[in-house]
Structure 1
Amino acid sequence: MEYGNNTLLREETPSEKISRYSQLLSGQLHRLRQELYPPEAHKLLRSFSSVDVARLIGVSESTIRQLDLDGEGPTPTRLANGRRSYTLQQINAIREVLAARKKGDEAVNILPRRRDGEKLQVIACANFKGGSAKTTTSTHLAHYLALRGYRVLAIDLDPQASLSAMFGVQPEFDVEPNCTLFGALRYDDGRRTLGDVIRPTYFDNLDLVPANLELAEFEHIVPTAIASGASTGENIFFRRIRNVLNEVDDRYDVVVIDCPPQLGFLTLGALFASTGLLITLHPQMLDLASCNQFLGMSSDLMAVIENNGGEMNLDWMRFLVTRHNPNDSPQTRVVGLLRALFGEDVLTSPALESTAVANAGLEKKSLYELEPGAIGRETLKRALESMDSVNREIEDLLRSSWGRAL
């Protein structure tokens, strides 16, 4: 009970208190973002040395230097120490130059975009339980593929918008109404094309469909659409995401979808649209039990979809062990159990637990965004080796789906 000016003030209701805390936290997050990314609050991707460029493209550093000396390709920035510095956009321009000199597989390895007859790859990153590193996995996979030269669309399907935040997008300030995937999925006259809600990011050839709380509306409108007859045939809810992706099929090689941590209409739509399913799993018994529930419910609901004319077209499904500590004996036993049960459907490489990932996350960055020297060199090196191994396996699955030699 509070008093002011001799007037008895009523106590806050729980909803008012929660609203006040929400506004306080939202304002503080906005101020922190302004401090991290002044003056326009936009993230920028770091530049890359000629050594980095050679490693990303898969050629020798001397090849990169010679291009510059010959005046071919983009002109790099010269640093004070005389070394060359390249943006990702310049790296992709170099890929174009080098690929034009090659034929067949050599050209494809340098510029790995889809060729005629190769279908769009759609990867859904999903699990029933929060805390399984879905967003961390989705972010690093999207960044890795963009750095490798693919054209990538990242879709944040979680109303909590963690993936959007990793791209420097604060949902309550930066995402206007009807500017999430919901805008392209809705059944009324407010529906927009997918192209209208896609926005470029600070990564060349990596675009984003951001999220905010309005995505949760899809879970409410689907039952109404079913009852009214609007959700039938090609417009049925589980075909909705696949159909809107067809609108931009020619613009991308890979779509990465960060699914919400529940098995609702949005997640089912993402699973139906996917060519690859990545199930993240923290190796603890409670997480294992939750994953079992996710698999059981997914199986039942997919069977219902299949019985109603929906055809699932998954090229692959893999379990990814996340936040793994190989020195933790109980975790090691859980990983062994998973491999015994699911065999090659468990990715060979786990995503190791690392302070580097945690520290990068505090700045809303992936490991690929960190400047050399931002954290301990060996710590960053081990974390990057682990993340690269995971993403390289997934890239191999994509290439295999396209029928390319590994």
Structure 2
Amino acid sequence: MPGQIHINERVRQNAENLASALEDHMHTVFAPDARKELRLFSAGEAAELLGISASFLRKLHFDGKIADVHMTPGGRRHYSASDLLEIRQTLEASAKTKGAYLKGRREGDSVQVLSFLNFKGGSGKTTSSIHNAQRLALKGYRVLCVDIDPQASLTTLFGYRPEYDFLQSGTIYDAIRYEDPVPLASVIQKTFFTGIDLAPGGLMLQEFEHETPQALMANIQPPFFQRMAACLAEVEDQYDVIIFDCPPQLGYLTMSALCASTGVLITIVPNMLDVASMSQFLQMSADLLDVVSDAGAKMEFDFLRFLINRYEPNDGPQQQVVAFLRQLFGEEVMVAPVLKTTAISDAGLTHQTLYEVDRSQFNRNTYDRAVDSLNSVNDEIESLIQKAWGR
């Protein structure tokens, strides 16, 4: 009929137009090579991250115990993430208590593997996982981010373009696939963020969901629920914390991540529709995990927590939902919520996190409130990690 649209052609045209526009946007936002650079941190931020006072930091410079850093014409010091790591190592070398400044793994500690998940999109999984990774890295932990979402939002936030950089190969899929898997080390990328490496995600990960039923029928070993853990075992000695950003569905990828995890963080937006959705998610999870547990999967976690996301303290119904969750799950609901704030979404417009953007670009009260919220959440997660190590 005249005027009819061929949906395949229209979708393809839309995809090509969008890809082209995104390419232009990336070149506008970042340098010509479309790779990100991390900003410098003020002396106040540096002192907070190092866990010392600003006056003690100044004294370290005055006494010549740490190297000079970038200084503005007005005499203000600014620190790169690598500067912070060097200072941390210097302080640790002379610390009376081992681990005072480098709080990562010690001999006998197992790597901490965290999964951020929920099968409802928009619950803040990617935002939570990347801010947690960055906060831990800035505090001296060695972090590996593993993006197992075919949409690859986490990979994009690290300045990569999955649809170009990893279209055919180079994602975590290459290391967990059933036919000719490659060593995980060969797909891990160094990122612009000191202390964080990335195992990228991309559309190819969807193949794992399609191939697993056939692999189960053919009894290909190791089975899907052991493949991720086997991969991580190859590199785990290089990291303190490994963080999974899971897809918004309860498929084989999510279950393989769960079977490799030591801690689980379920993100939840406090409204009744999301809570009802989570109820279904938890029931399905339990049933499916029963099956893989019976098949021999490891099912021991150091902790499971519900992370309240996009919380508005002045919203009465939200307060009621949070109270309901706390009454139901007790200490499994994290004390600190992530506040709903324009600062996080505004930073996202330029593919940045709140730890990457400069405070001067925002309303200062809005920025400080948002950063305090994220710091409280991520420091609570850090304390759970430390507790799992027996500290």
Q: Which residue is equivalent to 1:35?
A: 28
In 2, Cα distance between equivalents of 1:42 and 1:311: 38
- 1:316 positional shift: 0.2
Could you tell me which amino acid in structure 1 is paired with residue 379 of structure 2?
R
Larger Rg: 1
SS in 2 for 1:368: coil
Q: How does 1:249-268 map onto structure 2 within 5 Å?
A: 249-268=236-255
Could you tell me which amino acid in structure 1 is paired with residue 218 of structure 2?
S
- 1:43 positional shift: 0.8
Asked if residue 373 in structure 1 is aligned to residue 360 in structure 2, the reply is: yes
- 1:73 positional shift: 3.3
SS in 2 for 1:319: strand
- 1:11 positional shift: 5.8
Asked if residue 297 in structure 1 is aligned to residue 284 in structure 2, the reply is: yes
Deviations 1:249-306 (A, max 9, x none): 1110001111000000000001110000000000111111110111001101111111
Asked if residue 50 in structure 1 is aligned to residue 17 in structure 2, the reply is: no
In 2, Cα distance between equivalents of 1:172 and 1:214: 10
Counterpart among 93, 103, 119 of residue 110 in structure 2: 119
Deviations 1:181-239 (A, max 9, x none): 100001112x11111111011111101111111000000111111122214xxx01101
Q: Which residue is equivalent to 1:163?
A: 154
In 2, Cα distance between equivalents of 1:264 and 1:74: 49
In 1, Cα distance between equivalents of 2:15 and 2:266: 31
Could you tell me which amino acid in structure 2 is paired with residue 55 of structure 1?
E
Q: How does 1:5-404 map onto structure 2 within 5 Å?
A: 12-104=5-97, 107-189=98-180, 191-231=181-221, 235-404=222-391
- 1:12 positional shift: 4.9
SS in 1 for 2:305: strand
Decide whether the 8 Å contact of 2:167 with 2:204 is kept in 1: no
In 1, Cα distance between equivalents of 2:66 and 2:212: 50
Decide whether the 8 Å contact of 2:167 with 2:203 is kept in 1: no
Instruction: Name the % identity.
Output: 45
Could you tell me which amino acid in structure 1 is paired with residue 53 of structure 2?
S
In 1, Cα distance between equivalents of 2:191 and 2:332: 32
Which shifted more, 314-323 or 298-307? Answer: 298-307
SS in 2 for 1:124: strand
Deviations 1:326-350 (A, max 9, x none): 1111111111110010000000111
SS in 2 for 1:247: helix
SS in 1 for 2:146: strand
Deviations 1:11-33 (A, max 9, x none): 65211110110110011011001
Could you tell me which amino acid in structure 2 is paired with residue 267 of structure 1?
T
Q: Which residue is equivalent to 1:6?
A: none
Could you tell me which amino acid in structure 2 is paired with residue 108 of structure 1?
G
In 2, Cα distance between equivalents of 1:103 and 1:16: 68
TM-score (norm 2): 0.97
In 2, Cα distance between equivalents of 1:165 and 1:332: 33
Could you tell me which amino acid in structure 2 is paired with residue 177 of structure 1?
Q
Runs of 4+ in 1 over 6 A off after TM superposition: none
SS in 2 for 1:245: helix
SS in 1 for 2:359: coil
- Flag structure 2 segments of 5+ consecutive residues without an equivalent: none
- Pair 1:366–1:278, CA change in 2 (3 A): same
| Root mean square deviation, CA, Å | 1.4
- 1:77 positional shift: 1.2
Decide whether the 8 Å contact of 2:162 with 2:202 is kept in 1: yes
- Flag structure 1 segments of 5+ consecutive residues without an equivalent: 3-9
In 2, Cα distance between equivalents of 1:195 and 1:68: 38
Could you tell me which amino acid in structure 2 is paired with residue 367 of structure 1?
L
In 2, Cα distance between equivalents of 1:399 and 1:84: 31
Could you tell me which amino acid in structure 2 is paired with residue 399 of structure 1?
Q
Deviations 1:340-375 (A, max 9, x none): 100000001111100111111111111111112110
- 1:49 positional shift: 2.0
- 1:72 positional shift: 3.3
SS in 2 for 1:249: helix
Deviations 1:136-169 (A, max 9, x none): 1011111111111100011111101111111111
- 1:64 positional shift: 2.2
